[in-house]
Amino acid sequence: MKTIRLLDCTFSIIGLIVLSPLLLIIGLLIKLDSKGPVLYRQSRVGKNGVPFLLLKFRTMRTGSDKNGLLTVGGKDSRITRIGYYLRQYKLDELPQLVNVVKGEMSLVGPRPEVKKYVDLYNEQQREVLSVRPGITDLASIVYRNENELLAAHPDPEQYYITEIMPGKIELNFKYIRNQTTRGYLQIIFKTIFSAIRGK
């Protein structure tokens, strides 16, 4: 939808300008807290299956993704001190405003997955690739405690693949199949409220 793309660009550019002091402070805190780059780049699958580099503030020690792609529990030992708070309030996602401006993402849409998990989608589930992935979606709000859910199971990855991932996709279908400006704005405001609460 052209209206949503216009809102994406407008909100993202304004956000980058208004939040620039906060972004600089977060970058400085990350550098002071642990060794490594400020930003974390990871290949994700975008619209129509086209890969792109998703941007995040680095919240884990460098090289931690070699020990698994999922974060399990609220106190994963790989997460840095500042990273814990950035994740709690979703501040680590702010660099993705750049991805939105570039047209790789939308503010609202299915969270982009890594290829490893996308390869497990069945034909119907691949419908989520028909739209731009988003910084937030209904699934991000419903499954905000995903790390704790994973920590409660003996095989977190299998639980993610068989239970959480399909559940997220079903929630994404509700938005994809009935995209409206009102629904888009509602998810943005719910996400902001959820992030402010920190839980």
pTM confidence score: 0.90
Residue pLDDT, tens place only, 51-84: 999 999 999 888 777 666 666 655 677 899 999 9
Q: Are 90 and 56 in contact (CB under 8 A)?
A: no
106-108 vs 134-136, strand pairing mode: parallel
As given in the structure block, the two tokens for residue 63 are 């090289």
Residue pLDDT, tens place only, 94-103: 999 999 999 9
> Sorting pLDDT into bands at 50, 70 and 90, what band is 194?
confident
As given in the structure block, the two tokens for residue 158 are 């299998």
Q: Where are the domains of the chain?
A: 2-197
Residue pLDDT, tens place only, 2-41: 899 999 999 999 999 999 999 999 999 999 999 999 999 9
